[in-house]
Amino acid sequence: MEAQFTIAAVWLGLAVLAAIIAFHLRMSIALVEICVGVAAGAVATRFWGADSLGNNQEWLKFLAASGVVMLTFLAGAELDPRIMKTKLTEVSVVGIFGFLAPFLGCAAVARWLLHWDVRASWLAGIALSTTSMAVIYTVMLETGLNKTEFGKGILGASFVNDLSTVVGLGLIFAPFTYKTTVFILATAGVLILFPLVTKALTRIYGNRTAAIRAKWLMFVLFGIGALAFWSGSEAVLPAYVAGIVLAEFAAQEEHWVRRMRTLTVGFLTPFYFLRVGTLVSVPALWSAPLIVGGLLAGKIVWKIFGLYPVVGLFHREGSERWFYTLLMSTGLTFGAIAAVYGYSHGIVTQEQYSFLIASVIASAVLPTLIAQLAFMPKHLLPGKITRIVSPAGIDEE
C-alpha cells in the first residue's frame, strides 16, 4: 500500500497546487488541473520515465472514472427545469445546431485537411462540438445575466448542446448488440424510479441516517455505469441523464447538492483532470502547433457559422447575438471526456489526443475573452455592471 499512498499524495499535492494557481489567476479549476497534469507528466516522463506517476494504475483510473461520472451527474442535476419549460424552443434549436455544425464541420476538417481516419475524424467532431457549462455558468453568475431571460436561454442551450454531444458519443461509438438493448431497457427502468425512490428515502431517512442519499446516489450511478461498460458504452451518458431526471429534486435540495459537489470537485475530479493532462504528449504539440490552431479555428468558425444565424431568430441585437454565439463556442469538460474516451478505446492516437486536448483548453479561454471584451450586452446587465470575468471555476465549498 505504500506505493499507492505515495502516488495518491503526489496527485493530491498537484491538485492543491492547481487550486492555488486557479484562485490567483481566476481560471477554471478543471482547466488548471489539466495544464498542471500536462506539466507534471512531461517532467515525470523526462526524469523518471513513462507512467512514473502511475496514471495507468487501475485504482487511479477507477477514481478518475468515478470523478467524471459524478461531475457529469451534477452537470445534469443543475439544469433548471423552469428554463427548459419557458424557453423550450430556443434552447432546443440553439443547442442542437450548436452541436451539429461543429460536429460535422470539425469532423470534415480532421478527415479532409488533417487526413485522420474516419473514426478519429468523427471523434474529433464530437470532442469539438461541446460547450463549457462551467465557463458559461460562471460568466452568468459574475455578470448577473443568470437572472435575465437572455442568460437563462444561454444556460439552457448549453445543456442541450452537451446532452447532444454525450448522446452522439454513445450512438456513434457504442456497439449495438443484445447487451445494448438490455442496457437501455434496464437504465430506463431505473431512471423512471430514481426520483421517486430518492424522494421517498429523503422523506423517511433524510437528515437522520448518515448520508443515505449520497450512498443511494453512488449505488445507482455505479450500477448503471457498470451496465454501460458491460454493454460497451460509456458511464457518462446514463449519469448525465440521471442528473437531468433528478434536477427538480436537486433544485429543492441545494445544500445536499453543494455537499456532493464538494466531494466530487474536492477529491474525485482532480484525479480525472490531472490524468487528462498527464496523457498529453508535449513533443507532439511542439512538433505541430498548426494542427492545434486548425482544430481550434475549425471549432470556433463552425460554431459561428451554425449558431449566429440561429441565435438571430431569437435575439436581433448585434451584441447579444455575438455574445451568445461566442459563449456557446467554449468547451472544456465534455470535450476532454470525449478525447479521453477516444484515446482509451484506441480511436485516436496519443498525438491526436494531445491535439484535441490542447484545442479544448484554448476554446475554454479565447471565445470567452473575446465575447466579454468586444460584445458584452451591457444594456442587459443588472445595475449596468461591466466586469470582465476570467473562465473561472465554481466554488466547491
Burial class for 386, CB neighbours closer than 10 Å (0-12, 13-18, 19+): exposed
State how far the alpha carbon of 319 is from the alpha carbons of 312, 315, 341, 351, in Å. Answer: 11, 9, 36, 38
The predicted pLDDT at position 397 comes to 42
8: left (phi over 0), alpha (psi -120 to 50) or beta: alpha
The predicted pLDDT at position 292 comes to 95
**Could you give the dihedral angle defined by the CA atoms of residues 341, 343, 344 and 350, in that order, rounded to the nearest 10 degrees?**
-150
Average pLDDT over residues 158-165: 92
Going by pLDDT thresholds of 50, 70 and 90, the confidence category of residue 386 is very low
DSSP 3-state of 389? coil
DSSP 3-state of 71? helix
The predicted pLDDT at position 234 comes to 83
Average pLDDT over residues 117-133: 94
The predicted pLDDT at position 75 comes to 82
Q: What is the pLDDT of residues 312-325, one digit of tens each?
A: 999 889 899 999 99
Among the listed residues 237, 253, 239, the one whose alpha carbon sits nearest the alpha carbon of residue 198: 253
Amino acid symbol at 20: I
Going by pLDDT thresholds of 50, 70 and 90, the confidence category of residue 396 is very low
pLDDT reading at 310 higher than 90: yes
The predicted pLDDT at position 395 comes to 46
Among the listed residues 342, 327, 301, the one whose alpha carbon sits nearest the alpha carbon of residue 106: 301
Check residues 21 and 207 and name the one with the higher pLDDT. Answer: 21
- For 43, the grid coordinates are 517532467
pTM of the model: 0.88
State how far the alpha carbon of 83 is from the alpha carbons of 134, 147, 384, in Å. Answer: 17, 11, 24
The predicted pLDDT at position 160 comes to 92
- For 45, the grid coordinates are 516522463
The predicted pLDDT at position 143 comes to 80
The predicted pLDDT at position 321 comes to 95
Average pLDDT of the chain to the nearest whole number: 89
Check residues 298 and 393 and name the one with the higher pLDDT. Answer: 298
Domain annotation for the chain: domains and CATH numbers: 2-174+234-384 (1.20.1530.20)
